[in-house]
Structure 1
């Protein structure tokens, strides 16, 4: 290796590629395009005059030089991060925060919280991913996530934010054609608009009932249900804490 003017971003990118095992997962962790990761990696290899990674069918693998350089690069990045921290005012937050948030909850309920956090801590770089798919925090490089519903057993640390209460609604046309369900059991004979495969947990005082309704129509997101498109059908449970809009609300029956 000759004299090289190495950029810290290039070092950080190389470490992410080495640890993630590929350019695509490294790009997800860094929150940048894959092309940017590739360019940074190419510049670093050109500056060092040595090949650090090789492409494989499963991603990328470190060369012998890359495996040796990875540890030095990681320590250098850590030392620079510590040096930056020592120069900041006490209590000042900085760095990157990647958050995964459900599309049915984030834009209206969580986005204002992130905006206020960004205002209070201008040195932070906050990246929010709004999606209703299940996100693997470790594999995709997220720092935290908001989950709506029951959590499976996990080694991750979880904190309960609050309850979500739901309601069942149907269009007047549906009630007119098929009648109004009067008990949880009668819901089994009705049609419903579903999100994925789900069951409804209904409570009546101290009694809890699980209902798996019939769903001829399904959606991958519940952010907006449009009555003109779904007229004549029963609506699924509408979480009152979600930003799902039923427009216009006067046309629906609870």
Structure 2
């Protein structure tokens, strides 16, 4: 979803500025932007201590989901901490913990 939102904005910007050239690529890896000659990057997650300038442009609200088959095959969680025993799809650039927030605003930190 983030790709499509950013891509739409870049497409609109390029129509307003037809003489600018864009080269886009998406990756889950942290790249050395200066070494690769990259002028602008959009990153999700925390910003490591860096000499680069950064600005928060938004938040990504995520939902915890699993497939129906996975749900059927695994012991059902009784508490959020039970989820630490489940398999997670992780992005390498993000830390190995998540803060879950329920509808009442209560928070639970999970490390996996």
For normalisation by structure 1, the TM-score amounts to 0.39
What residue number does 2:20 align with? 124
What residue number does 1:61 align with? none
What residue number does 1:195 align with? 91
Q: Determine helix, strand or coil for the equivalent of 2:29.
A: coil
Distance 1:133 1:191, change over 3 A: closer
Normalized per residue, the structure richer in strand is: 1
Residue 142 of structure 1, aligned match among 35, 38, 48? 38
What residue number does 1:166 align with? 62
Normalized per residue, the structure richer in helix is: 1
Query: How many angstroms apart in 2 are the aligned matches of 1:129 and 1:155?
Result: 22
Q: Determine helix, strand or coil for the equivalent of 1:194.
A: coil
What residue number does 1:105 align with? 2
Residues 40-98 of structure 1: CA deviation (Å, up to 9, x unaligned)? xxxxxxxxxxxxxxxxxxxxxxxxxxxxxxxxxxxxxxxxxxxxxxxxxxxxxxxxxxx
What residue number does 2:79 align with? 183
Distance 1:172 1:129, change over 3 A: closer
Decide whether the 8 Å contact of 2:28 with 2:91 is kept in 1.
no
Residues 108-129 of structure 1: CA deviation (Å, up to 9, x unaligned)? 1211111111110112112222
The ranges of structure 1 where at least 4 consecutive aligned residues each deviate by more than 4 angstroms after the TM superposition are none
Structure with larger Rg = 1
1:132 Cα deviation after fit: 1.7
Q: Determine helix, strand or coil for the equivalent of 1:158.
A: coil
Matched positions, count: 109
RMSD: 2.2
For normalisation by structure 2, the TM-score amounts to 0.79
User: Gapped runs of 5+ residues in structure 2?
Assistant: none
Residues 137-168 of structure 1: CA deviation (Å, up to 9, x unaligned)? 21111111101011112222111111111111
Residue 114 of structure 1, aligned match among 10, 28, 38? 10
User: Gapped runs of 5+ residues in structure 1?
Assistant: 1-103, 214-254
Distance 1:166 1:139, change over 3 A: same
Which of 1 and 2 has higher RCO (CA within 8 Å, sep 6+)? 2
What residue number does 2:109 align with? 210
Distance 1:120 1:201, change over 3 A: same
Structure-to-structure mapping, 1:34-53, within 5 angstroms:
none
